[in-house]
Structure 1
């Protein structure tokens, strides 16, 4: 059985573990080990995740398969982007799945959940960043109707960035 629910502070440890594992999958060949270790430590530490989960501007949702955490999403409502003229747009900052759950349609279910959530909250679209070599994610978002609107240098350390496409889906 597949279920989706909002994350709570009790989920912090699991979120940190899933976030680290899911981020490494598409990036492991492109980011040096030391840079990767520091990025994961800074981005998926329990303190940061707790601050975000308890912030009403952030929405974390977990997706489960038979009570096993398969992945999660993070959206931020009313998050402007310099390349989008509309206001009331949502940034989907994370849509992560563990590799063992690929191919089950879970990414689409979690995305549809976030899409409905954004529409319910009177948003006019969803935007996100995707690394230009994350071909699996790029194909997923293309099928969902997203359009490339710009490029962005995503910082992974104080000295390194990775080129990302800025994608947008207008409702």
Structure 2
């Protein structure tokens, strides 16, 4: 089941976001930089502001009524980049390590693709780490193509994210 995340759920969101981010990138980022990222980008205050932004939405995917993954989407000025006109961004999509391989990420991704189609936007786009080949292959299957890149800064660690897009019309 996929449910909208409300501001009252911010602590649960933060714990899940920190766990899944550390599982995904922890081996390539210094612990000090990881902790800085948690204290800034994933702080309770930052996440609460994002949950109150009408141009952003967060959703949990639940298994046995427990959140095991989440996604964040943005439109308008909430997007992390403004390179495309009338676009819908999939900013974060994570599933807990123990629940990967069960099709939950695919279900969450297809859910937000449906949201994107219903949004009236011309484009759906996302950023993916240049070394995350598994995710790149997944997005390519859905017709996404690279159109740009940007730096993803975590403390002193600077990574490159490829920006992938797909037309919605």
TM-score using structure 1 length: 0.90
Tell me the CA shift for residue 21 of structure 1.
Answer: 1.0
Q: Which runs of 5+ in 1 are unaligned?
A: none
* Structure 1 position 160, deviation (Å): 3.5
Q: Is the 8 A contact 1:77 1:118 kept in 2?
A: no
Give the equivalent residue in structure 2 for 1:61: 59
Q: Quick check: 1:161 aligned with 2:165?
A: no
SS in structure 2 at match of 1:152: strand
CA RMSD of aligned residues (A): 1.4
Counterparts of 1:134 and 1:106, CA distance in 2: 18
Gaps of 5+ in 2: none
Larger mean CA deviation between 8-17 and 136-145 belongs to 136-145
Corresponding position of 1:5: 3
Deviation track 1:67-87 (CA, whole Å, cap 9, x = no partner) reads 1111111111234632x3xx2
For residues 102-144 of structure 1, the C-alpha deviation after alignment (integer angstroms, 9 at most, x for no partner) is: 0111111111111111111101121111111122322221222
Query: Does 2:114 match 1:116?
Result: yes
**Deviation, structure 1 residue 94:** 0.4
Distance in 1 (alpha carbons) for counterparts of 2:42 and 2:137? 25
May I ask how many residue pairs the two structures share in their alignment?
A: 165
Give 1:8-157 correspondences, 5 Å limit.
8-78=6-76, 79=79, 81-82=82-83, 84=84, 87-157=85-155
Distance in 2 (CA, whole Å) between partners of 1:19 and 1:41 is: 12
